[in-house]
Structure 1
Amino acid sequence: MCSSKLFLNLVSRIQLSKKANTLAETAVAEIQQANTFQKVSYSVPPQSAAIDMIRGGYMIFQSRIFTFNRIMEALRNPDGKMIGVYGMGGVGKTMLAKEVARQSVEDEKLFKKVVMVTVSQTPDLQKIQKAIAGQLGLKFDDSEEDKYVRAKGLHQGLGEEKMLLVLDDIWEKLALYEVGIAFGNDKNDCRIFLTSRSQDVVCNDMDADINFSVKELPLDEAKALFDKIVGVQSTKSPDIQALVIEIVKECVGLPIAITTVASALKKKAYPIWSNALQELRRSAPTNIKGMYKNVYSSIKLTYDFLESNEAKSLLLLFCLFPENMETDIEGSLGYAMGLESFQSITSLEKARNRVFALVDNLKASSLLLNVDCRDKVRMQDVIRDVVVFIGSEEHHMYNLRNVDELEDNKKRKSATAISLLSVKHDSHPLPERLECPQLVFFLMINQFS
C-alpha cells in the first residue's frame, strides 16, 4: 500500500518536471532567436598575463578591468547621459576612451556611431565644431563663420542617430550649447564621454553624472609593461636586472613614462642604464601642471638619448605648433630648411628624405605619435609640455599664449624662436615694433571664432 505522503511527492515531482521542460524549451528558443551573445565585459586575466591580452590595439591591465567594466555598465544604463574619467597626464585616459568607443560600437552595438574630438588646454571652439562636423559628414559654408550658426547645424547633425560623443582632454568648463551639443531630452539618446586631468573639471565644471578615476599602474604591471617593451635580450645581464625595478619605480606608474624610458633603454649597454637611473633620480623641477616631478626627467631622458641634434631640432620645431595639432611633415620641411637644421644637405629632395627619416626615429623613441595620415604627426600632450620646457630653458624658444606676453623684455631680447599661439580678434593689438635681436623664427596663430 502506498502512503499518501509518497503519492503527494510524486505529483509534485511530475509538476516540477513539466515546468522545467517548459522553461528549457523557452530558453532554447530565446537563445536561437538571439543567435549569439554579445560581449558584456572583460574577464580578469591571470596575474602573469595582465598585459598579454590585447583587443583592438588596447593593452588590458588587470588593475583597470574593474573600472573599464563599470564604465561599460554605465553606458548601458540610459540614465547616465554624461560619463567622465580623470587622471594625471600620461596615465592612459585617451587610450581608455578609444577602447570604450570601440567596444561600444563594434562589440556591443550600444551606439551607431562614435565621434571623438580633442579639446586641449586652450579650446578652439571653431576647431572643435569643425572636427565634429567632419566626422558627421557635415560641411559648413564659408559664410557660416558665426559660432551659433555652426552650433545649430551640429545640433541637428547630432540628433540624427544614436551616438557616443567623446570629448578628450578637457582642461576647463566647456559650454556644450555653444558648441552645438545638446543631449538632455534628445530621443536619439546622444551620450557624452569625457576625459580630463582634473577631477574638478569632470565632477564640478562639466557636472558629469558618473565619473571614474584612472590611477597609475601598480609596480607589478608597470614592470610587466616595461619588460614587454625592452624585451628579454635587453635585461639578460644580472647587473641590468638589478636596475630594472628602481628605474620602473621612478616612472611612477605612468604608461607614457614607462614607454618612453623603456624605448630609450632597449638594447642599450649597462652604463646607459646606470646613467638613466641617475638622471631619473635628479628630478629637474618644472611648471608642468598636474605631473609628478619624475615624469619630466623620464621624458627628458628620451630626448637626451636622441642620437642627432637634427632630431632634437625637429622635435623642438614641432612643439612650437599648437597643442594636439597634427603637424604636416612636408610643411615643416620649409621651416627646418630656413632654420638650417640639417648638415651637409644640398638639395630639397635630400632634405625631405632626412625629415621623414628623423620623424621615424622620433616615433620609434615614442616622442611622436602616428596619425591616420602618414604625412602628419602629433605629439602627446605630456611630452609636448616637457619639450616646450626644454626649448624655453635650453634654447630660449618660447610658446606665448597671448600678445601680452610679448611685453616681457627679457624674453624678447633672448628669444631665438617665438610661437604666439592665441591671437584673437578681440585681443590687444600687436606692437608696431619688436626688439628681438636673437630671433630667427616667429610663428603666429590667428583665432577668429
Structure 2
Amino acid sequence: MEIASAPITEVGKCAAVSAKRRLGYIIHYKRNVEDLQNKVDKDLVPLVADIRRKVDLAERRGETIHQVVKGWLHKVEDVRNKQAELNRGAGEITSCFKGCFCARYLLGKKAKNEINTIIELLNEGRGFTAVSDPAPLPPRPLEHFNAFESRRSTKKQVIQSLKTDDTYLVGIYGMGGVGKTTLVKEMRKEVEETKLFDKVVMVVVSQNPDLKRIQGEIAEQLGMKIEEEGLTTRALRLYARLMQEKTILVILDDLWSEVDVAAIGIPHGGCKVVITTRSSDICSRMEAQPSIQVQVLSEADSWELFRQNAGDVVDSDALHLVSKEVANECKGLPLAIVTIAKALRGKDREMWIYAAQQLKKSSFDGMSAVNASIKFSYDNLQSKESKLCFLLCCLFPEDYSVSMDELLGYVIGEELFEDAETLGEARNKLHAAVDKLLSASLLLEGKDDGDVMTTLPFRLQLRKARTTQL
C-alpha cells in the first residue's frame, strides 16, 4: 500500500502546485500586468532607444544592419503590442463582478509569460557588441559596352573565331585604355551564358609574368590547389586538370611580353586561349590566329560616352564648346573619356576650361590621354582620405586585387586616417574613400566581392606617389 501511495502523493503535490499557480494568476493578475508595464518602461524602453540610435547612425552611414538586430527589434515591437493589449484588458476589469475568473486567469498568465520573454530580450539585446557592418561596395556593371556598334562587332568577331575548329589562340590588341579588358569580360559573360564552353577562366598576366601565380589562379578557378613548387611539375598537374574538361577557354589578360602557354600547362587540344595586349607583335610571336584590333571610339561614340558620364549639362550653351574640346582631348579612349567626364561632372565652367588647358599641356609634354585624365582626376579629388588611399594603392602591383581588410591593415599601420579613434571609424573612412576612387574610375572592382583592383599604369602611380604633395 505504501508503494502504491507514493505516486499518488507525488501527483497530488504536482496538482497542488499547479492549482496554486493558476489561482495566483487569478488573484494577482493586476500585479502581473503592472510588473510587465514596469519591466517594459524601466528596462526594455531604454535599451531599445539605445539600440535604435545605433541603428539610425549606422543607416545614415550606409552600413548593413545585422539581421539578428532587425529580428530583435521586431520581437520587441511584438512584445510591446501584447503589453498594451494586456493593459487594455486589465482596465476593463473594474470589480470582482466585471470580469470573470477566466479573463483574470488569462491576463495574469499572459502577463507573466511576457515578463519572461522580456527578460530573454534584455539578455539578448545587452549582448549586441555591434549592430551593423560596413556596406559592401556595390558591383559596378560594365559601363555602356554594348551601346556602340564598333564594340558589338568586335566582340562578335572574337566569338565567331572561337567557334572555328582550327582556332587555338585569338589575339586582341590595342592601345592602353581602349577597352580590351572590358571586351574580354563581356565576351566571357556571353560565352558562359550561351554554354559555348564548359568552363571559362580568366587571369591577369601584367608586366612581369609570374608563371606560378598564373598557374595557381587558373587552378583555383578550377577548384584545385597545386602544392608542388617546380614549374614543370605544376604545369603537368594543371595540364592534367584542364584535359578533364571537354571544352575550356583560358583568357590571359594584359600581356606585355610573349608568354609560353605550354610552360603554364595549357594544352593545345580541347582548349582555346584568348590573349589581350597592347602590341600586335606579341600576337604575331605567339602565333595568334586571328589577331583582332580594338579601335578607339569614333568621334560620335566618344561624345555619347562622354555625355553619359558627364551629364546632359554638356549640351548647354555655356559648356558645349569647351566640353567638346575636353572630349576630343581624350582621343577616343574609353578609360580616358570615363575618367575625365566623371571628374568634371557637376563642376563649373572655369573648371572645364582649366581641364581643357591641362589636357592640352599634358599632350604637349608627351603624356598619353589616359595618363593625363588620371592625373587630372586625382588632382581634383576633394577628399584627403581618398588621395591617401590612392597613394597607398600605388604601392601594389598593377592589376593587383586587394581586399578591404588588407587595405585596412595598411591604413591603420601607416596611420593614414589620424582622426579615426576606433577601428570601426577607420573602416568606415576607408570604405568612403575607396567608393570615391571607384566612382572616379581610379580603382576598379576586384576579382572577389568587396575587393578593389589597381588597374592604372603602375609607373604613373609610383611616380605620383613619389612626387605628389598633399
Asked if 1:199 is matched to 2:274, the reply is no
* 1:79 Cα deviation after fit: 1.1
1:9-408 matched pairs, under 5 angstroms: 58-107=145-194, 109-141=195-227, 144-161=228-245, 162-183=247-268, 186=269, 189-204=270-285, 206-232=286-312, 234-235=313-314, 237-283=316-362, 293-382=368-457, 384-394=458-468
Contact persistence 1:281–1:294 (CA under 8 A):
no
Which moved further from structure 2: 341-350 or 148-157?
341-350
The Cα offsets for residues 160-180 of structure 1, whole Å up to 9 and x where unpaired, read as: 121111111111111112211
Query: C-alpha distance in 2, partners of 1:104/1:60?
Result: 19
Following the alignment from structure 1 to structure 2, what is the Cα–Cα distance between the partners of residues 298 and 323? 18
Cα gap change, 1:338 to 1:104, in 2 (>3 Å) = closer
For 1:207, the aligned partner's letter is E
Distance 1:322 1:255, change over 3 A: same
Q: How many Å apart are 1:217 and its aligned residue?
A: 0.6
Query: How far is 1:355 from its partner?
Result: 0.8
Instruction: Tell me the amino acid that sits aligned with residue 399 of structure 2.
Output: N
What does the per-residue CA deviation read over 1:386-436, in whole Å, with 9 as the maximum and x for residues that have no partner? 32221233369xxxxxxxxxxxxxxxxxxxxxxxxxxxxxxxxxxxxxxxx
8 Å Cα contact 1:286-1:293 kept in structure 2: no
Counterpart of 2:181, as a letter, is T
Q: Greater CA deviation, 348-357 or 54-63?
A: 54-63
Q: Secondary structure at the match of 1:238?
A: coil
Residues 402 and 446 in structure 2, CA contact (< 8 A), matched pair in contact too: no
Tell me, in whole angstroms, the C-alpha distance in 1 between the residues paired with 2:319 and 2:283.
42
Q: Over the residues paired in the alignment, what is the CA RMSD in angstroms?
A: 2.2
Q: Distance in 2 between matches of 1:373 and 1:211?
A: 30
Contact 2:396 2:454 in 1 (8 A): no
Q: TM-score, normalised by structure 1?
A: 0.69
Tell me how far 1:315 sits from its aligned partner: 0.5
Deviation at 1:301, TM superposition (A): 0.6
Deviation per CA, 1:241-269: give whole Å up to 9, x if none.
Answer: 11121111100111000000111111111
**Per-residue Cα deviation, 1:94-147 (whole angstroms, up to 9, x for no partner):** 11112222222322x321111111111011111100100011111223xx1112
Q: Which amino acid aligns with 1:197?
A: R
CA contact (8 A) 1:164 1:192 kept: yes
- Deviation (angstroms), 1:284: 6.4
Q: Which amino acid aligns with 1:274?
A: I
| Aligned residues between the structures | 329
The 3 A distance-change label for structure 1 pair 151 and 90 is: same
Name the CA distance, whole Å, in 1 between partners of 2:311 and 2:220: 40
User: Which residue in the other structure is 2:83 paired with?
Assistant: none
The percentage of counterpart residues that share the same residue type is 37
Greater displacement, 336-345 / 219-228: 336-345
1:285–1:293 contact (8 Å) kept in structure 2: no
Match of 2:98 in 1: none
Compare the two structures and name the one with the higher helix fraction: 2
Structure 1: 4+ residue segments shifted above 4 A: 54-57, 284-287
Contact 1:117 1:131 survives alignment (8 Å): yes
Query: One-letter code of the match for 1:106?
Result: E
Residues 1:180 and 1:338: Cα distance change in structure 2 (over 3 Å): same
In structure 2, do the counterparts of structure 1 residues 285 and 115 end up closer, same or farther at CA, with 3 Å as the change threshold?
farther
Distance in 2, Cα, partners of 1:309 & 1:368: 16
Indicate the SS of the match to 1:123.
coil
- Indicate the SS of the match to 2:239: helix
Letter in structure 1 aligned against 2:204: T
TM-score of the aligned structures, taking structure 2 as reference length: 0.66
Asked whether the equivalents of residues 146 and 152 of structure 2 are also in contact (C-alpha less than 8 Å), the reply is no
Superimposed CA distance per residue, residues 365-393 of structure 1 (whole angstroms, 9 cap, x where no aligned partner) = 111112353432102233x4432221233
Please tell me whether the aligned partners of residues 256 and 278 of structure 2 are also in contact (alpha carbons under 8 angstroms): yes
CA distance in 2, matches of 1:83, 1:347: 51
CA distance, structure 1, for counterparts of residue 251 and residue 369 of structure 2: 30
| Letter paired with 1:276 | A
Unaligned runs of 5+ in 2: 1-140
Structure 1: give runs of 5+ residues left out of the alignment.
1-53, 397-449
Alpha-carbon contact 1:300-1:387 (below 8 Å) kept: no
Q: 1:395 to 1:146 in 2, by over 3 A?
A: farther
Quick one: distance in 1 between partners of 2:319 and 2:164?
A: 49
Structure 1 residue aligned with 2:86: none
Q: Name which of structure 1's ranges 243-252 and 341-350 shifts more when overlaid on structure 2.
A: 341-350
SS in 1 for 2:291: strand
Distance 1:368 1:286, change over 3 A: farther
